[in-house]
Amino acid sequence: MKTKTTEKLFMAAIFLYLIIIVFPFIWVAITSIKPESEIWGAEAMKLFSNQPTLEHYQALFKAHILNTLKNSLIIAGITTVYVTFIASFCAYAIARLQFRFKRVLMAVILGTSMFPQMIVVGPIYRVFVALGWTNSYFITLPYSMITLPVATFILITHFAKVPKEMEESATIDGASKMKTFLQIILPLALPGIFTAAIMTFIGVWNEFLLSLTLNSNSNYHTATVAIAFLRGQFQIFWGQVTAATVVVTIPTLIIVILFQKQIISGLTSGAVKE
């Protein structure tokens, strides 16, 4: 009896927590279809609008939001492909090969992933200015530096779980290390690679600080940065801001919904000893 009561209380707590977490997103979505007159004053406290409209979305697309979405897609896509490719080799080497200072290397990688992004923005900016790389797609390089440690750690677990006997059999059959990696190890580690790619893409897609600092030209603004500039001289266009927030969130939301099983499987792999 006590167990059932505890389970009910636990489920109720989770449900309440989900409401608290999800409600701000629901409020933003509802605000994005409210007319300007209902966003301010006493009308703003109403949850639902009496006259829903898409005027904010129309104004948003007239403000060239599609160009910023294109920039986000290009930058996130290039970074994801590069990071996943490099992280696969790094993780395989750490999981399979024995070499000196292996634990030190893993500690350095982990420490890099914990490094506050705010601290490295200044040095990166100075380097980019010196090389003339500001306002370009070279921003994928610092993004790769930031996301590579996490992707590597995700993949280490998956490569470590692949039975060594399969590699030994391939070696006996005359397969080289590279051929064994590409044709045997890599396919078996696809869930982890898929998870690392998704986490990298979402992380870069949502990033704001580096993009704002390194790409000041509006032609290279990403979608998250473009939202910050939806303002006039004396006011912020909150209707367009909420509409842009919905538009920017939709791609990552679709990815998470479609691939939630793969993400969970990839992140929890190795958490339980078999």
Q: What mean pLDDT comes out for the span 71-81?
A: 95
Q: What is the mean pLDDT of residues 74-89?
A: 94
Instruction: With a cut of 70, say whether residue 147 has pLDDT above it.
Output: yes
**Tokens at residue 116, please?**
């506050």
Lowest mean pLDDT among 83-92, 156-165, 264-273: 264-273
Going from the N-terminus, what domains does the chain have, and what CATH number goes with each? 65-268 (1.10.3720.10)
16-20, 232-236, 247-251: range with lowest mean pLDDT: 232-236
**pLDDT of amino acid 134:** 93
Query: In this predicted model, what pLDDT tens digit does every residue of 221-232 receive, in sequence order?
Result: 999 999 888 877
pLDDT above 70: residue 266:
no
Q: In degrees rounded to 5, what are phi and psi of residue 231?
A: -150, 155
DSSP state of 35: -
Looking at the chain, list the stretches that DSSP marks H as alpha helix, in order from N- to C-terminal side. 2-31, 36-39, 55-62, 65-96, 102-114, 117-131, 140-161, 164-172, 177-180, 186-188, 190-206, 209-214, 223-228, 238-258, 260-268
Q: What is the mean pLDDT of residues 81-95?
A: 91
Q: What is the pLDDT of residue 139?
A: 94
What is the structure's pLDDT at 128? 94
Beta bridge partners of 164: none
Residue the block writes with tokens 């007239």 = 62
- Whether the Cβ atoms of residue 76 and residue 204 lie closer than 8 Å to each other: yes
Residue pLDDT, tens place only, 156-212: 888 888 788 887 787 787 777 788 888 888 888 888 888 899 989 999 999 999 999
Residue 269: band (very low, low, confident or very high) from pLDDT cuts 50, 70, 90? low
| Higher-pLDDT residue of 74, 8 | 74
Q: Is the pLDDT of residue 273 over 70?
A: no
CA distance 231 to 226: 10
Predicted confidence (pLDDT) at residue 135 exceeds the cutoff of 90: yes
Q: Which residue has the higher pLDDT, 8 or 271?
A: 8
> What does the block give as tokens for 132?
């003339």
- Quote the mean pLDDT of the chain: 84
Burial class (CB in 10 A: 0-12, 13-18, 19+), 139: buried
